[in-house]
Amino acid sequence: MTSVTDHVGADEAGQFAATVAAIAARHSQPDPWQPGAAASDATPSLEAALDEAGWPELGRDEALLPLAGPAGAALGRAFASLAPVDGLLGGALKVGTVARYASAGCVTAEPHAGAVLAGRARTADAAAYTDALGVAAVTVTDERRVADDEARVRFAAWAAASTGYLAGLSEEALRLALEHAQSRRAFGGPLSALEPVQQMLADAATLVDGLSLLAGDSPGLDALVHAGEAAEHAVGICMQVTGALGFTTEFPLQRAYRRSRSSHAWADAVAVAWDGGREAPS
């Protein structure tokens, strides 16, 4: 399979995003989350296929940064695992004493005070969480500061891909809400014909359009923090449109809602840690 190149333009970004979308479609899996349980949607076959396509290069070559947002959006539309995104940092994303997609012996990557600290999880105690992110309380040994130039590229790729993921997630949530509103009958016509529903969908669409524009512009940490809030708001509106159906585990929108909320919390926590604090995501 053709890898990503050093010369990146809109065509190359679109082509790589299309490759990522095709890979995500081939390696999709059911949502493993259950209320009150520790769960992880990490998909080794997805990660291996992305590695073959050149995904890790996004975190190694600054010239490839424009690919990260669109590629992340392709994963978000598929409601795919976030593990490949965190892999751009070089390990399981750690903030304070918790990490996601973590297991004993894994490499961890902790953004802190404008740097990235790499370590190895000596212990990892899986925790019940609101999303299937493989969250665990970890103790880390052999922590060291990643070289500044490498850390800067890795962190920029992670922030851009994370922002793109939220954009794609919100886009798919809106598609699901629109499909529901057009097929559901209410007061003698489709739900989408009701003015309040049209207004809610328009509000969500405005947020989604903004996220899509943001994802295509090599977004940084500030953009990611904004995207976390905007995505949670947009998906929340979609949940209102679908009503009780949106909260059922059989309907995929609830997965988008949980992921938007958890991603918002992690983005805020990373922003605090990057500024020098260590606030863990709740």
Q: Quick check: 5 pLDDT over 60?
A: no
Question: What's the angle, vertex CA 16, arms to CA 12 and CA 17, rounded to 5?
Answer: 115
Residue 30 has pLDDT above 80, yes or no: yes
Enter the DSSP assignment of 20. Answer: H
Nearest to 162 by CA among 254, 99, 228, 209: 228
Neighbours of 171 (CB within 10 A): 21
pLDDT number for residue 280: 64
* Dist. CA 194–CA 187, nearest whole Å: 9
**pLDDT for the residue numbered 7:** 53
Residue 2 has pLDDT above 60, yes or no: no
CA distance linking residue 102 with residue 84, whole number of Å? 13
Q: CB of 281 within 8 A of CB of 253? A: no
Query: How far is it, in rounded angstroms, from Cα 70 to Cα 86?
Result: 16
Check residue 1 and give its pLDDT: 39
In terms of Cα–Cα distance, which of 257, 211, 265, 200 is closest to 79? 257
Residue 234 scores a pLDDT above 50: yes
The mean predicted confidence, pLDDT, of the chain is 93
Residues in Cβ contact with 213 at an 8 Å cutoff, skipping those fewer than 6 apart: none
State yes or no: pLDDT of 16 exceeds 80: yes
In the chain, pLDDT over 70 holds for what percent of residues? 95
Give the pTM.
Answer: 0.93
CATH 1.20.140.10 maps onto the chain at 152-271
Does residue 77 surpass a pLDDT of 70? Answer: yes
pLDDT-based confidence at residue 247 (cuts at 50, 70, 90): confident
Q: What mean pLDDT do residues 251-278 have?
A: 93
pLDDT tens digit sequence for 152-208: 999 999 999 999 999 999 999 999 999 999 988 776 778 888 999 999 999 999 999
Q: What is the sign, positive or negative, of the torsion defined by CA atoms of 36, 236, 241, 250?
A: negative
Quote the percentage of the chain above a pLDDT of 90: 85
Q: Whole-angstrom Cα distance, residue 122 to residue 100?
A: 15
Pseudo-torsion of CA 61, 67, 72, 75, nearest 10°? -110
**pLDDT tens digits, residue range 84-126?**
999 999 999 999 999 999 999 999 999 999 999 999 999 999 9
Q: What is the mean pLDDT of residues 56-65?
A: 96
CA distance 237 to 253: 11
Q: What is the domain class of 152-271 according to CATH? A: mainly alpha
